[in-house]
Amino acid sequence: MRTLALPLRVTPDGQLERAEAADTLLALVRAMVAASPGGGTRFGVHELFRGANPALHEQQGLADALNEGLAELGIGWARVASVHTLPAHPWERSFAVTLRIDGEQAVHGRVRA
């Protein structure tokens, strides 16, 4: 399995610890959802997620936007297979994200916008 550069995280006691590539990739997707686009990049997709129709279960447009951002970052070995709307409070948007790594391994995570 390929990894992101420096798949490390800092533990609560300040030590460096090796992180799983899947966890690191999910963290990147969460950062993309939290960020607004700027500087000519499609990395930030916050506005798209906030503006998504909560009545739709399948959110293919959001998956496509995340895949464009990953491709822009040179990550071709992982793709967002699907984004689904999850029940949430009216003031919050919550989504289930399924990633495919090297076309095989499925990684599931939850993101909030």
Could you state, in order of their start, the residue ranges of all structural domains in the chain? 8-112
Q: Give the Å distances, CA to CA, from 47 to 7, 18, 43.
A: 28, 32, 12
* Structure confidence by residue, pLDDT tens digits, 16-39: 777 777 888 898 899 899 988 876
Please state the pTM of the whole predicted model. 0.81
Beta carbons within 8 Å of 22's beta carbon, 6+ residues apart: 99, 101, 105, 107
Distance in angstroms (rounded) separating the CA atoms of residues 103 and 13: 36
Measured in degrees and rounded to the nearest 5, phi and psi for residue 47 equal -60, -35
* CATH (residue range 8-112): 3.10.450.40
User: Which two structure tokens, joined as six digits, stand for 56?
Assistant: 């739709």
Lowest mean pLDDT among 20-24, 64-68, 81-85, 94-98: 20-24
Q: How many CB atoms are located within 10 Å of the residue 41 CB?
A: 12
